[in-house]
Amino acid sequence: MRQKRAKAYRKQMLVYNHTFKFREPYQVLIDDQIVLDCHGSTFDLVKGLKRTLQAEVKVMITQCCMQSLYETNNQGAIDLAKTFERRRCNHPPKEPKPPKECIESVVNVNGQNKHRYVVATQDIDIRRSLRRTPGVPLVYTSRSVMVMEPLSDASSKVSKAVEEDKLFKGLNDPRNASLKAKEDASKDNQQETTRKRPRGPKQPNPLSVKKKKSIKPSSADQSAETGSGDATKSSKRRRKHKSGTTRAQPSVERADDATSSS
């Protein structure tokens, strides 16, 4: 699939997702004709749907479409259809409806695609009738290439209306009242938390506070201090020693001289 076409399909599915609430895996409702064509051209239907819708798919077929396949006696196509999930259409098996009536009754429920089906059909009449129902993606094969139709007029009108409602009404729309109530509750909680905060001086950040470093005296300072202490002690001792001895010595010498002279 070319990049330009894949981008267009991705945009279309985003519209179906946001406006009509489609979710993966997409439920794809097929008819008997697309099963016959894919089996005849050896086209992988499931892979083609995944590549076109760019998501996981759940392929489904109604009982009335299976009954029309049984009437063809094409065993290969019947075996292929049996691998898909059976969709109950509530039509009696003994009186099956034509595929067109059956698919329309299943998809179009009170004017809308209630079950969010993607319809893959080769019948142009089915596609024409379902274009009037908003929110129905239509897929078909053309020369072994799977193609998705662009948004129908009904789908584009609904999408524009939804976007305008979101733009102009906003939270005043009663459908968005729950969102407004949630926002009001969150604001009230924030105000309560701000009121309950204790007022007072804020403590400093422990990472920004530096620890006080204890300064140890160096060995030179210690030696200087001890030296000064010894010097003071020695000076004091010398002063005491001078006062006692120097004065006593002359008296002794004089006494010796006196004895010798006598």
Domain for residue 210, yes or no? no
Q: Strands 117-120 and 138-141: what pairing?
A: parallel
Domain for residue 255, yes or no? no
Domain for residue 17, yes or no? yes
pLDDT at 215: 63
Domain for residue 254, yes or no? no
Domain for residue 207, yes or no? no
The CATH number that applies at residue 13 is 3.40.50.1010
Number of domains in the chain: 1
Domain for residue 74, yes or no? yes
Name 131's Cβ contacts closer than 8 Å, sequence gap at least 6.
138, 149, 152, 153, 154
Q: Whats the size of the chain, residue-wise?
A: 262
pLDDT at 262: 41
pLDDT at 21: 92
Contact, 47 vs 78, CB < 8 A? no
Distant-in-sequence contacts of 138-141, Cβ < 8 A, 24+ apart: 139/28, 139/49, 139/52, 139/53, 140/34, 141/34, 141/37, 141/38, 141/41, 141/43, 141/48
pLDDT tens string for the chain (262 positions)?
A: 688 999 999 999 999 999 999 999 999 999 999 999 999 999 999 999 999 999 999 999 999 999 999 999 999 999 999 999 999 898 888 889 999 999 999 999 999 999 999 999 999 999 999 999 999 999 999 988 999 999 999 999 999 998 888 777 665 556 555 555 666 666 666 666 555 555 666 677 777 766 666 666 556 555 555 555 555 554 555 555 554 444 545 544 454 554 444 4
pLDDT at 144: 86
pLDDT at 248: 47
Domain for residue 119, yes or no? yes
Domain for residue 101, yes or no? yes
Range of the domain at 94: 3-163
CA-based Rg of the chain, rounded to a whole angstrom? 51
